[in-house]
Amino acid sequence: MNKDLIIQLQSKQIQELKRQIVILMARVEELENNQKKNSSNSSKAPSSDIGKVQRTKSLRVGSGKEVGGQPGQKGHTLEISATPDSVEVHSVGKCTGCGKDISRLQTYDYEIRQECDIPPIRL
């Protein structure tokens, strides 16, 4: 091959590569612009959004009050029965921390709990 033919082939190849670069640059610009669009600022569907899923924000407004019973409110608690059907004593046998036997130690504190069961249903 002579030099002129090689130069001519390389020139055609350079022109083709330049054309492809222009096409690819236009595609990159299009993709970058599409990435800026989402369902909140265009007519795109929410399923086409890229990235983090946006949650709807609550329209509720806080009242400024503390959670739970308000100051001055009279509480309503179920009173402990004076005549329970049965009494169960649950003793501690070993320490929950180290596992040592503490069943023979003197008790210095206790809790009282009341359990209310629904009576069996009869047909």
Q: Is the residue at 15 inside a domain?
A: yes
DSSP secondary structure letters along 20-78: HHHHHHHHHHHHHHHHH--TTTSS--GGG--SSPPPPPP-----SPPSSSPTTPPP--P
Q: Is the residue at 122 inside a domain?
A: no
Q: What is the pLDDT of residue 43?
A: 81
Q: Is the residue at 75 inside a domain?
A: no
Q: What is the pLDDT of residue 47?
A: 76
pLDDT at residue 52 is higher than 70: no
| Prediction pTM value | 0.34
User: Torsion angle of alpha carbons 86, 89, 90, 92, nearest 10°?
Assistant: 180
pLDDT tens for 2-48 read 899 999 999 999 999 999 999 999 999 988 877 777 777 878 787 77
> How many domains, in total, are found in the chain?
1
Q: Is the residue at 79 inside a domain?
A: no
Q: What is the pLDDT of residue 78?
A: 84
Structure tokens at 4: 């002129």
Q: Is the residue at 32 inside a domain?
A: yes
Domain span at residue 25 reads 3-37
Q: Alpha-carbon distance 27 to 23, whole Å?
A: 6
Q: What is the pLDDT of residue 98?
A: 93
Q: What is the pLDDT of residue 68?
A: 83
pLDDT tens for 99-113 read 899 888 888 888 888
Q: Is the residue at 104 inside a domain?
A: no
Q: Is the residue at 88 inside a domain?
A: no
Q: Is the residue at 110 inside a domain?
A: no
